[in-house]
Amino acid sequence: MGVLIDTTVLVALERSGGDLGSLREELRDEEVAISALTASELLHGVHRADTAVRRGRRERFVEGLLEALPVVPFDLETARVHARLGADLHARGEPIGAHDLIVAATAITLGFRLASLDVRHFSRVEGIDLLDWPEATATETAR
C-alpha cells in the first residue's frame, strides 16, 4: 500500500523548515506520491508569495518535491470515482471542497492511504483510508 500526501502536510512541512527526507522517514518504506491537484496547489503558493525571498524559498521546496515524488494525473478512472463520491456527499448534504474531492478520489483510485492534516473534510468520504498522522508530527509541522 502507498500513501498519497495532501497539500496540508507539505505546506506544514515547508513552513516548519522540514524537508522531504523527514517526511519519508515518517512514512518509512511506503510508496509515496502526490496528486496533480496537489502539485497545482503547491505551485499556486509559489506564485502567491508576497516577497521575492519567500517565493524563491517556496519554489526551491516545491520543485524539490516535484522532482522527488511521483505526480499522479487525474484520469478517467479517477474521474469516475470523483463523480460517484461527489454525488454521494451531495446526497448526504455533506459536500467537501472540489480540490479535496479530487485528492480523495485519487487516493481511493490508487488504493492508497491519504496523509492530511484536514481530517474533518476527508473523513466524510466513504472508502477513504486516512493515515493516522502522528499528533506530535501534526503539531510540530503546523507551526
DSSP 53-116: HHHHHHHHHHHHHHHHS-EE---HHHHHHHHHHHHHHHHTT----HHHHHHHHHHHHHT-EEE-
Tell me phi and psi for residue 137, to 5 degrees.
Answer: -65, -45
Confidence class for position 132, pLDDT limits 50, 70, 90: low
Confidence class for position 141, pLDDT limits 50, 70, 90: very low
pLDDT at residue 133 tops 70: no
> Could you tell me the three cell numbers for 103?
485528492
Average pLDDT over residues 18-45: 88
Closest by CA to 79, choosing from 105, 98, 40, is 105
What pLDDT score does 89 carry? Answer: 97
Calpha distance 137→143 (Å, rounded): 10
More confident residue, 109 or 30: 109
Answer CATH for 2-141 from 3.40.50.1010, 3.30.300.90, 3.40.980.10, 3.40.50.2000: 3.40.50.1010
Amino acid at 47: H
What pLDDT score does 115 carry? Answer: 93
Closest by CA to 137, choosing from 25, 2, 1, is 25
pLDDT at residue 140 tops 60: no
pLDDT digits (tens, 9 = 90+) for 43-73: 999 999 999 999 999 999 999 999 999 999 9
More confident residue, 139 or 32: 32
